[in-house]
Amino acid sequence: MRQGSLRELNLALVLGRIATAPRPPSRAALAAETGLTRATVSAVVEDLVAGRLVTEAEPTPRAGAGRPARGLVLAGDGPAGLGMEINVDYLAACVVDLAGEVRHHVVHRADLRPVSAADALGRLARLAAGARAAAEAEGLTLAGAALGVPGLVDAAGQVRLAPNLGWRDVPVPELLAGHPPLTEVVDGVPALVVENEANLAALAELHAGAGPGNFLHISGEVGIGAGIVLDGTLYRGSRGWSGEIGHIPVRPDGPPCRCGGRGCLERYAGQEAILSAAGLAGADLPADTAPTRLAELAEAGQAAVLAALHEAGTALGITVASVVNLLDLDTVVLGGGYAPLIPWLRPPMLAEIDRRVLTAAWSPVTVRPATLGATAAAVGAAGSVVRRIIARPAGWLARL
Ligand SMILES: [Zn+2]
């Protein structure tokens, strides 16, 4: 094995251990766990510390006699990930450091449907520049960026179709050219990765903590997307286009959908469909406050709102039951705008799941709110950059 690649493997091995250890490990503990010699571990740790990837934890007093315990933790002042989201009614940018802390987060509310893709991406670039300045002011260095969009993205980062934004074949990386840090190529990998926002939200949920290894994460916005997590890994599909749950037909002869089909889930459980069924369409209701407003009206017992949420929950239950029958998932996570509506969506969902999932009688399906809520996609995007550095620290170190 080449010396260079052995060093790369050792860097990734030691950093991976530090990232996942339940408490800060010492160099001796790392040597014992990895099977590397103490001298090798010390040399590797020295590189990681010099590269601002790892730092000594604050010593914690040890019970009883002896010196306080020391250990190594991920550095919070080195590389960071820039996460962005573009959606129908908002833009978001956030910075997450290597230790997983959200250090900066900003949301810009605007209806982006009447706006050209180039204009929307220009606004996003300005938001990203602000996030970069905020990161640098805190001593962080952006190591890459990821952008979530509500649509189908190909391997080159081109948005092939985002029906709710009215985008078709939008060359996102090209339109963002000239906006560092979005266009650099680092270590052979473009500094900007474009990804479906529902996938990023599912990844954020997966890494937010104690979630199970198998679940379906549904993001309820104007459109509805899903991320499928199987055995702790996001299932992207053979071309990266999995999860278009919003266009599964609930009633094949139902109302026409923007996708060209009829009676899709989105026509019953998308945010605008719920508002319209509740008689609130056209009301002066900013999209970001719509879920909270619906929850307030449901709480007050408003009949039309309760009926609309029951209809949406029923449609979600019918769709989810098919997915569960197909993939044998035991948990469904409701994210995006669905979180405040769970008390009204869950009962009709569970009724349909109980009726339609063959195994529900002895193995119930859990329906629960997402941990991160509406910010999940941008945070998940930034987290994906950070996890790439942890998986391959040599790439970051080579830039220094
Ligand atoms: Zn559709």
CATH number, domain with residue 87? 3.30.420.40
- What's the pLDDT score for residue 3? 65
- 304: in domain: yes
Angle at 272 between CA 336 and CA 225, to 5 degrees: 40
3-state SS string for 41-77? HHHHHHHHHHCCCEEECCCECCCCCCCCECCEEECCC
**Do residues 169 and 256 both lie within one domain?**
no
Q: Does the pTM exceed 0.95?
A: no
Same domain for 273 and 391?
no
Residues 245 and 344 reside in one and the same domain: yes
Distance, CA 327 to ligand 1 centroid (Å)? 22
352: nearest Cα among 379, 377, 388, 324: 324
Structural domain containing residue 105: 79-200+377-399
- Of 163, 156, 176, 193, the residue nearest 87 (C-alpha): 163
d(CA 114, CA 24): 51
**Lowest-confidence pick of 70-74, 129-133, 181-185, 367-371:** 181-185
Closest CA to 243 of 198, 194, 195: 198
pLDDT in tens, 215-232: 999 998 888 999 999 998
Residue 205: inside a domain: no
Residue 77 CA to ligand 1 center (angstroms) comes to: 44
Task: Collect all residues with Cβ–Cβ distance below 8 Å to 282 and sequence separation of at least 6.
Answer: none
pLDDT at residue 310, rounded to an integer: 98
Tell me, yes or no, whether 22 and 84 share the same domain. no
Distance from the alpha carbon of residue 71 to the mean position of ligand 1, in angstroms: 53
Beta bridge partners of 159: 153, 170
Ligand 1 centroid from CA 255, angstroms: 10
For 30-43, the pLDDT digits (tens) are 999 999 999 999 99
Look at residues 74, 102, 130 and tell me which one is the last residue of a structural domain: 74
For residues 287 and 383, state if they share a domain: no
Same domain, 353 and 240: yes
Ligand 1 centroid – CA 249 distance (Å): 7
In the chain, the number of structural domains is 3
